[in-house]
Amino acid sequence: MINLIVLPILIPLLTAVLLIFFASKVKTQRWISAISALLNIGVAFSVVRKVFVDGIQILNVGSWVAPFGITLVSDMLSALLVLTTTIIGFAVILYSFSSIGKEREKYYYYALVQFLLVGVIGAFTTGDIFNLFVFFEVMLMASYVLLVIGGTKIQLRESLKYLTVNVISSALFVISVAYLYSVVGTLNMAQISERIGSLEEMPGILTVIAVLFLIVFGMKGAIFPLYFWLPGSYFAPPIPVMALFGALLTKVGVYSIIRTFTLFFFQDKDYTYELLMILAIITVVVGVIGSIAYWNIKKIIIYNIITAIGVILYGVSVATTTSFTGSILYLIHDMLIKAALFLLIGVMIKITGTSNLRQFSGLIKHYPGLAWTFFIAAISLAGIPPFSGFVGKLLVIQGGFTAEEYIGATIILLSSLLVLYSVMKIFIHGFWGVPKEYAKKESISYRALLFPIVLIITISVLYGIGSDYVYSYVSQAVQTLVNPELYIEAVLKE
């Protein structure tokens, strides 16, 4: 079946359209979206198997051969990210059933989630730089609506900020693509890479374009000087939306940085990679400072996103096989664990009615399941050995030390400690201590909420324990990153 790699995009797209027809029937909406999400996990899994067995998969959309039409490319990196996205999508949809509320559900909530998944999966799969822009917009427009849906005051304020920032960065994206197009004369990523690669040395204008792309994707992915919008905007929406944003949106920016820097701008590494490294290190520092400064559990997790992005991009900027492997392992781990953490604090907020850590304690007495799930999530986040964050971070740091980038590697090593402190603070102050009476004692569907979280945590634990097995997949993904020729050959064969 030659259309296999378009199916992960097509299934949520068709589902989203179908859901528009069933706007008033909440039960039907839930069934349709859950079934389609589950189906998509299966399809994404078979894409991963296919890429693993047969190498990079391409699909020339509309039968137009490679540089002239849009090409969808599924190498191992994008296949793995698509699989992770579908898993997170499924878990968040299940979580939404008993938390998002009828009002929002009737207002096309599930359709919007599916559109968001279309955008994210499309951005991971496309092989055309302008098509990447289009999928970015699909993703962003869905995220605008998901951010504002419900219409509370804080949501309105924050979506105005979020919208402004993203409109500006999208305009900058178009400008960057226009510059790049005027230099290389093509939009197909493989052909861009081939044309830049055939130059004797990288001319100054391409370095400028590289920095422009860094600014654009850095704004989407929240790296150091461009992260300012994230803490406020991610604070506003309801929990499942927050989980989707935290787990997926910034990671698309990170993926785009990885893709453009390894595929386009690999020749003259001195300036661009140095810049990326400095920014990544400062991002880690900023994230860590934010996460230990706050007593609001939402804010703590939000700043942990920023830290993780710094760690991943540090691995990319070192640009050795080891550090790339570490980055990708950490990227997938981080998507899973951030989704789980957001959903977990969602349950805590539902129980206690507040997100201020100083106002509750002793949750472990009545909710031991929640407590231990949170504990596992927390130590995986920090990277304690049997769990999933360990191998990725280890390889990133190892890559840093072998490339003699001691400062960055040391900072990341130390940052793990503070990350652990920030989540353990939640655990110690929130779960231990004397139980308090909470204002809202009405029975919340605690088990239904915990199920998708346990699902993600289980996958994440398996991911950590089965690192050997995962490693064979990830090393295949790294091959395309260190060897752009593989990508070019797969797309521009004949």
Partner 1 sequence: MKSSDVILQTTSKIVFFVILLFAIHLFFEGHYRPGGGFVGGLVTAGAIVLFLLAFDIKTVSILLPFDYKWVTAIGLLISILTAAGSIVFNVPFFTHTYDHFHLPLIGETSLHTAALFDLGVYLVVVGVTMTIIQTIGESE
Q: Which of 1, 53, 434, 439 binds partner 1 (CB under 8 A)?
A: 1
Within 8 A by CB and 6+ apart from 438, the residues are: 351, 352, 353, 360
Minimum Å gap between C-beta 10 and partner 1 is 6
- Residue 167 CB neighbour total at 10 angstroms: 12
Residue 23 in the binding site for partner 1 (CB under 8 A): yes
Task: Find out whether 343 and 95 touch, Cβ atoms under 8 Å.
Answer: yes
Of the candidates 25, 29, 1, 2, the residue with the CA atom closest to the CA atom of residue 16: 29
Minimum Å gap between C-beta 24 and partner 1 is 11
Q: Which of 39, 60, 327, 371 binds partner 1 (CB under 8 A)?
A: 60
Q: What does the buried/exposed string (b/e) look like for 270-280 if buried means 16 or more CB atoms within 10 Å of the residue's CB? A: eebbeebbebb
Cβ proximity to partner 1: between 145 and 364 the closer is 145
Binding segment for partner 1 among 17-25, 134-142, 367-375, 443-451 (CB under 8 A)?
Answer: 17-25
Residue 395 in the binding site for partner 1 (CB under 8 A): no
Minimum Å gap between C-beta 33 and partner 1 is 15
Minimum Å gap between C-beta 61 and partner 1 is 5
Minimum Å gap between C-beta 265 and partner 1 is 30
Residue 6 in the binding site for partner 1 (CB under 8 A): yes
Going by the DSSP 8-state scheme, the letter that residue 289 receives in this structure is: H
Site mask, partner 1, residues 61-90, x = CB under 8 A? xxx---------------------------
Minimum Å gap between C-beta 462 and partner 1 is 33
Q: How far is CA 367 from CA 207, 352, 356, 357, 423, in A?
A: 54, 12, 18, 16, 18
Question: How many chain residues bind partner 1 (CB under 8 A)?
Answer: 17
Minimum Å gap between C-beta 153 and partner 1 is 18
Planar angle of CA 319, 214, 160, nearest 5 degrees: 140
Binding segment for partner 1 among 54-62, 222-230, 235-243, 475-483 (CB under 8 A)?
Answer: 54-62
Cα(461)–Cα(251) distance, rounded to whole angstroms? Answer: 21
Minimum Å gap between C-beta 485 and partner 1 is 24
Task: Find out whether 277 and 237 touch, Cβ atoms under 8 Å.
Answer: no
Cα(309)–Cα(193) distance, rounded to whole angstroms? Answer: 25
- For residue 73, the cross-strand partners are 58
Cβ proximity to partner 1: between 58 and 340 the closer is 58
Cβ proximity to partner 1: between 23 and 48 the closer is 23
Q: Which of 21, 31, 432, 469 binds partner 1 (CB under 8 A)?
A: 21
Q: Supply φ then ψ for residue 126, to 5 degrees.
A: -75, 155
Going by the DSSP 8-state scheme, the letter that residue 190 receives in this structure is: H
Taking the CA atoms of 41, 333, 344 and 309 in sequence, report the sign of the dihedral they define.
negative
Q: Which of 8, 12, 13, 256 binds partner 1 (CB under 8 A)?
A: 13
Within 8 A by CB and 6+ apart from 5, the residues are: 47, 57, 58, 59, 72, 74, 125
Task: Find out whether 180 and 129 touch, Cβ atoms under 8 Å.
Answer: yes
Residue 156 in the binding site for partner 1 (CB under 8 A): no
Residue 3 in the binding site for partner 1 (CB under 8 A): yes
Within 8 A by CB and 6+ apart from 145, the residues are: 108, 112
Site for partner 1 in 286-305 (CB under 8 A): none
Minimum Å gap between C-beta 69 and partner 1 is 9
Within 8 A by CB and 6+ apart from 40, the residues are: 7, 8, 11, 12, 86, 89, 90, 117
Within 8 A by CB and 6+ apart from 56, the residues are: 73, 74, 75, 76, 480, 486, 487, 490, 491
Binding segment for partner 1 among 39-47, 60-68, 121-129, 359-367 (CB under 8 A)?
Answer: 60-68
Binding segment for partner 1 among 55-63, 80-88, 154-162, 181-189 (CB under 8 A)?
Answer: 55-63
Minimum Å gap between C-beta 168 and partner 1 is 23
Site mask, partner 1, residues 228-257, x = CB under 8 A? ------------------------------
Binding segment for partner 1 among 7-15, 159-167, 223-231, 320-328 (CB under 8 A)?
Answer: 7-15
Binding footprint of partner 1 on the chain (CB under 8 A):
1-3, 6, 10, 13-14, 17-18, 20-21, 23, 59-63
